Amino acid sequence: MKQKLERIMSCLKDSSGNVKLSLVIMGGGQFRYGAKGKGILFFLLQLSIIFYFITRGFRDIEGFFTLGTKKGDVWLGVAGDNSVIMLLMGIFAWVVLAAYLYFYVMNISDVYRMQKRLEQGRRNPTFKEEVKQLWDKKFYVTVLALPVAGVFVFNVLPIIFMILIAFTNYGGTVVPPELVDWVGFYNFKRLLSLSQFAPTFVKILTWNLLWAVTSTALNYIAGLFLALLFERDCVKGKAFWRTFPVLAYATPAFITLLAFKFMFSYGGPINQLILSGGGTAIGFLDLDAKWTARLIGLLVNCWISTPSIMLLATGILSNRDSSLYEAAKIDGAGKWKQLLKITMPFVLFSTLPVLIVQFVGNFNNFGVFYFLRGGLYLDGYFLASDTDLLINWLYNLSINNNYYCLGAAISLIIFIIISIISLAVYIKSPSYREEDTFR
Amino acid sequence: MKKKRIILLSLTLTAVLGILSGCGDGAATEDVGTEVDGRTEGAAGNIQGSSVFTGELEHNVTIRVLENDTAISKGYAKELLDAFNQEYAEYGIKAVDANMDQYLDLANDGPYGYGPDVLYQANDVIMQYTEGKHIYPIPVQEMECYDQIPEIAWNAYETEVGGNTYCCGVPVNVQAPMLYYRKDMLPENWETEWDKDGNGVCDIVENWNAMYAFSVLRHEENPLNYGYMKALYDVYFSGGFLFSYGGYLFGENNTNPEDIGFSAGEAEKGAWVLSQLAGAMNEECIDNTINTTVYGKIADGTYFATLSTPDVYSTFVGELAKAYEGEGMSDKEANELATENLMMASVPKLPESGDLSEENPSLLDPKSMGGINGYAVSSYTKAPNACLAFVEFATSFEMMKLRNEMLGVAPAREDVAEAVGGVSRQLYENLEKGNIILMPSIREVSQIWTPGETFFIDIAKDAFRNAEEKKYKELPDLKKGLEQVDSQIHDAIFTLK
């Protein structure tokens, strides 16, 4: 850091008048060095950003801190401040400010580079040449500019928004036109200090971890099994058979879940069969069915998720080195040994990052138990049931009550738990430690 | 600088004159800054409306109307919109279907211009919008329908802000559970065996004790058939059994969320009634699959009776007619016979003791949970007067009667209820008598469903548990269960508040 600062200071001392001009007026130095097009572009950029900040940017940044001072009242015709919009626009203003700083630094380093080139007696590229570079050497910049901007607007901005919501009192009765306020770590303090939470949190977290590990493993094994099965020469009409898992994959998950809920209900076909066979109806998913419901959840999730693993594994298996199998066969290794020693390490190596994504997805699998067995608060659980995952509990506690700030705080906690687990697994994995093994 | 001072002085003078003129008479009050006025002041009840309703219709405007899905699918919404558009064509006012989800959230969508101008929803939903003033207070006392609608229905739409009473919706129809049953499946000898009070109405549909006895008998005669069948988890239908014995949702007329009363009074007797009824049903009463199969099973005679709301009458009749058509009847014959055999009646009376096996019980009037669906005007509309004109039109005698004819819903207007008679009249009377407990109009009501449903599922399930596994063996067990429901609702509302 210190070295960086020293470098900047020495560059500043070393800079020409044109560079200093660019420090004040973006593009000024470039313009005087003859790169008029680029200079004008930089200048227009600075002008438009200054215009934005004068017309609303500064107000948005102020609004980011105050989150509004005037409460609206539609009945009285008072147009008040909308805290949520102010927060959003405030974040946007910060992003614009960051972008301005980025372009400002780019402008300085560009003009400094121009100065150095001229001092070395080299010619500076013309505007046309620089634009041409964007289609050639720097094509990646051209291609990535739009997606990066898109990611910022549609991904980063909402994530920052959600994180910041955790530090406000937004939700419950505090929704526009009421004014939202910053409350610091109050929401986190409240979550940690509530005595009712701890026992339920421990129970749900334990089940959540068990669920995430079991369902990920089950889906993975089932997907791999199907892929290996359809790879075998003895299977006729492979494309035909592969269609069925793909169909299950193509059906929207919530429709599949509702269909399974109906199948396992008291009036559903499974119980009808049991009754017609002279048996008594079974409450597969009712409030006494803790482990049955959990098992059904695992199997239904397997039904939904296996096809994606199967497709992934099918692609990876097609790249297998058949000579390895031939060599193993000569060495006397049976099919099981070949699976354990060649196929599994090969597939695992390639799919571990995907497996982590699957784990995260399953850890946060809201739909399975919401659709299969939602709407129950059971004994021994605080506003939750014995099949609820943390994400379902979060929904009961916060979103169901419109406590967006607490929802955001719990989401952050879940995010931290998942990040730690995922990173620990990934860093320990061969995919990370032995990157070149299968290259 | 001088010019500026002159302008400032003129503006100040104008403002002072404006305020002074406001002190003069009532008419001038509307011209000053205050937007909510007391134009209806002096009338009984003194309900205030917004001053945006000036009575001057906006010309050449389109208003988006959110009707419920049934009204759209059965064609009533189209009839209403067409009739209104014809009536107001000279002003260039056009009402169109808002084409939005009937369960939209005006509080989140309205401020950004996505909501409808006029919305038709249940009172508990509409009144949640008053917190953020997302709907306008309507000058209801100036409306033609005001005197025709009972006070209890208007109360469901009233709110107090700053010591003033505002009414934010216009009641259209009453929703409350009704008993649907097959008249042709009543025992042939009911006049001699099942009419103890000799009033010419079969006891089976008059009191739950007879219904229970008949259900047990019917199932004994043919194990595939049942008498009364209903998914018990539904708080909307099962809650009434608790309220009939002293239970309630929230204290102070459903306005105080601190006071939760599922276990109040002798509510456990209501839970016991449900538990006994579950014993005469099959396991389908535990979950919700019955909700979709009930129409067909009433039609094919598997079930004799169920509880539902009046707006699904046409679906029951349709299914029964289809069953008759399947037996070879013509379309007309099938419809006529279905209309004759499918009966809708008030909820049967309950035994004071809560014991359904009691031979000669003292009976009490049942209470049931209900709602008032009505119209409201969004605060984000650009044409409030045109919207009010629409509400006025849609709540007229003719349109409410048409709504009843096409949808079977019970009107909130007394003159319409009188004109159509039958069940609508009964529902209107029940509402007036206070036997329909209206859904609370406070946002905390959203927290009653899951704890309530869990409890009702549990007592339904209990009927099918082995004797040693049963959780609710005595009335105190049921009381304890209900107290837990109260505590869960309280936790859900207040833990994170």
A114-153 pLDDT, tens per residue?
999 999 988 888 888 888 888 888 888 888 989 988 888 8
Neighbour-count burial of B463, counting CB atoms closer than 10 A to its CB (0-12 exposed, 13-18 middle, 19+ buried): buried
Residue bearing the bigger pLDDT, B9 or A166: A166
CA dist., res. B185 & res. B287, Å (int): 26
Residue of A nearest to B458 (CA): A287
Mean pLDDT of A4-8: 81
Q: Is the pLDDT of residue B11 over 80?
A: no
Q: What is the mean pLDDT of chain A?
A: 88
Residue of A nearest to B381 (CA): A74
Taking one residue from A and the other from B, the number of pairs with CB-CB distance under 8 angstroms is 103
Q: Tell me what pLDDT residue B402 has.
A: 94
8 Å CB contact of B289 and A265: yes
Q: Is the pLDDT of residue A19 over 60?
A: yes
Q: Which of B34, B443, B491 sits opposite A383 (nearest CB)?
A: B491
B130-180 pLDDT, tens per residue?
888 899 999 999 999 999 998 889 988 988 887 888 999 999 998 899 999
Q: Which residue bears the tokens 């927060």?
A: A87
Give the pLDDT band of residue B292 (cuts 50, 70, 90).
Answer: confident
Is A175 in CB contact (< 8 Å) with chain B? yes
Q: Which of A73, A287, A403 sits opposite B457 (nearest CB)?
A: A287
Query: Chain B closest CA to A261's CA: distance in Å?
Result: 9
Q: Using an 8 Å Cβ cutoff, are A176 and A73 in contact?
A: no
Direct distance between the N- and C-terminal alpha carbons of chain B, in angstroms, rounded to an integer? 54
Q: Is the pLDDT of residue B25 over 50?
A: no
Residue bearing the bigger pLDDT, A273 or A430: A273
Give the pLDDT band of residue A436 (cuts 50, 70, 90).
Answer: low
Q: Tell me what pLDDT residue B337 has.
A: 96
Q: Which residue bears the tokens 């099959």?
A: B282
How many percent of chain A have pLDDT more than 70?
A: 98
CA dist., res. B493 & res. B497, Å (int): 7
Mean pLDDT of B44-62: 82
Phi, psi of A431 (to 5 degrees): -60, -30
The whole model's pTM is what?
A: 0.80
Give the pLDDT band of residue B484 (cuts 50, 70, 90).
Answer: very high
Q: Tell me what pLDDT residue A434 has.
A: 67
Q: Tell me what pLDDT residue B32 has.
A: 31
- The encoded tokens of residue A80 equal 């008040």
Element (H, E) at B115: none
Least confident span in A13-17, A226-230, B3-7, B342-346: B3-7
Q: Is the pLDDT of residue B246 over 80?
A: yes
CA distances from B40 to A367, B51, B53, B379 (A): 51, 11, 12, 20
CA dist., res. B497 & res. B484, Å (int): 20
Is A80 in CB contact (< 8 Å) with chain B? no
Q: Which of B132, B379, B453 sits opposite A175 (nearest CB)?
A: B132
Q: Tell me what pLDDT residue B45 has.
A: 58
8 Å CB contact of A76 and B137: no
- The encoded tokens of residue B137 equal 């207070």
* Site from A173, A179, A262, A266 to mutate, B interface, most B CB atoms within 10 angstroms: A266
CA dist., res. B454 & res. B234, Å (int): 10
How many percent of chain A have pLDDT more than 90?
A: 42
In this structure, what DSSP letter does residue B409 have?
A: P
* Site from A86, A276, A401 to mutate, B interface, most B CB atoms within 10 angstroms: A401
> CA quadruple B369, B372, B373, B375: dihedral positive or negative?
negative
Q: Is the pLDDT of residue A24 over 50?
A: yes
Q: Using an 8 Å Cβ cutoff, are B168 and B130 in contact?
A: yes
- The encoded tokens of residue B440 equal 């609370």
Measured between beta carbons, the chain A residues lying within 8 angstroms of B484 are 379
Residue of B nearest to A176 (CA): B132
Q: Which of A77, A383, A397 sits opposite B35 (nearest CB)?
A: A77
CA dist., res. B67 & res. B78, Å (int): 10
Give the pLDDT band of residue A357 (cuts 50, 70, 90).
Answer: confident
Least confident span in A27-41, A396-410, B22-36, B98-112: B22-36
What b/e string do you get for B427-461 counting C-beta neighbours within 10 Å, with b at 16 or more?
bbebbeeebbbbbbbbbbbbbbbbbbbbbbbbbbb
Closest to B89 (Cα-Cα) out of B67, B59, B112, B65 = B59
Q: Which of B35, B484, B492 sits opposite A76 (nearest CB)?
A: B35
Q: Do domains B49-174+370-438 and B178-369+443-494 have the same CATH topology?
A: yes
Query: Chain B closest CA to A28's CA: distance in Å?
Result: 39
- A 128-157 → B contacts, CB under 8 A: none
Mean pLDDT of A152-178: 88
Q: Using an 8 Å Cβ cutoff, are B293 and A265 in contact?
A: no
Q: Decide yes or no: CATH 3.40.190.10 for domain B178-369+443-494.
A: yes
Q: Which stretch, A328-337, B45-54, B108-117, B474-483, has highest mean pLDDT?
A: B474-483
B400-458 pLDDT, tens per residue?
999 988 887 889 999 998 898 877 888 888 888 889 998 888 888 888 999 999 999 99
Measured between beta carbons, the chain B residues lying within 8 angstroms of A376 are 450, 453-454, 457
Measured between beta carbons, the chain B residues lying within 8 angstroms of A296 are none
Q: Which domains does chain A have, with CATH numbers?
A: 2-184 (no CATH), 190-433 (1.10.3720.10)
Q: Tell me what pLDDT residue A438 has.
A: 53
Mean pLDDT of A56-70: 94
Closest to A166 (Cα-Cα) out of A418, A397, A406, A415 = A406
Q: Tell me what pLDDT residue B38 has.
A: 39
Give the pLDDT band of residue A437 (cuts 50, 70, 90).
Answer: low
Q: Which of A262, A376, A382 sits opposite B289 (nearest CB)?
A: A262
CA distances from B158 to B154, B168, B379 (A): 7, 6, 16
Mean pLDDT of B261-290: 94
Q: Which residue bears the tokens 């803790």?
A: A290
Query: Chain A closest CA to B420's CA: distance in Å?
Result: 37
Element (H, E) at B307: strand B303-308
Concatenated DSSP letters of B315-364: HHHHHHHHHHHHTT--HHHHHHHHHHHEEEEPPPBEETT--TT-SS--EE
Residue of B nearest to A379 (CA): B484
For chain A, how big is the Rg over CA atoms in Å?
30
How many percent of chain B have pLDDT more than 70?
A: 91
Is A330 in CB contact (< 8 Å) with chain B? no
In this structure, what DSSP letter does residue B136 have?
A: P
- Report the residue count for chain A: 439
Least confident span in B17-26, B167-176, B471-480: B17-26
* Site from A179, A200, A276, A287 to mutate, B interface, most B CB atoms within 10 angstroms: A287
Residue of B nearest to A73 (CA): B133
Pairing mode, strands B410-411 and B178-182: unpaired
CA dist., res. A398 & res. A191, Å (int): 11
Q: Which of B133, B282, B284 sits opposite A73 (nearest CB)?
A: B133
* Site from A284, A383, A403 to mutate, B interface, most B CB atoms within 10 angstroms: A383
CA dist., res. A111 & res. A94, Å (int): 25
Q: Which of B286, B450, B496 sits opposite A286 (nearest CB)?
A: B286
Q: Is B174 helix (H, G, I), strand (E, B) or coil?
A: strand
CATH class of B49-174+370-438: alpha beta
Measured between beta carbons, the chain A residues lying within 8 angstroms of B288 are 265
**Domain locations along chain B:** 49-174+370-438, 178-369+443-494
Is A267 in CB contact (< 8 Å) with chain B? yes
Q: Which of A75, A287, A378 sits opposite B50 (nearest CB)?
A: A75
**Interacting residues of A154 by C-beta distance below 8 A, sequence separation 6+:** none
